[in-house]
Amino acid sequence: MSTILNKLQGLSAAEEFFAALDVPFEQAVLNVSRLHILKRFNENMARAKVAEMAESDQFEACQTCLASAYSDFLTSSGVKEKMFKVFKDQAPSTGFVSIDQLKTKR
C-alpha cells in the first residue's frame, strides 16, 4: 500500500482527512455532513481506482475525491443524497393529504 493510503488509513476524524490532503473546508458544513462526506469520499476513491494508480498520482487523486465529496454537500444534504440505507429505503412522501383521504373510525 502507498504512503498516502497508509496515512489515510490511520485517520479517523473528518478534519484529519482534510488536513492531510490540504483541502479547505468550513467547520459548519463538516459538523452537519461529516459522515456523508467521508462515505462519498470512499465511494469516489473506489470509483477512481486510486489504489491502482501510480503512487505519484495518488495524493492528487485523493485530494480531488475529497474535494468533490465535500462540494456535493455544500448545496445538498445527506437525506437528499441518500448516502445511507435508511434514506435509500425511505419511500417518498406525498407531502399533502387532502381531507377526502382521511378516514375516521366509528
The Cα 51–Cα 43 span in angstroms is: 12
Query: Is residue 90 predicted with pLDDT exceeding 70?
Result: no
Task: Indicate the residue type of 83.
Answer: M
Domain segments of the chain as ranges = 3-74
pLDDT at residue number 77: 57
Quote the radius of gyration of the chain (alpha carbons, Å). 19
pTM equals 0.73
27, three cell numbers: 467547520
- For residue 82, count CB atoms less than 10 angstroms from its CB and return exposed for 0-12, middle for 13-18, buried for 19 or more: middle
Mean of the per-residue pLDDT values of the chain:
84
26, three cell numbers: 468550513
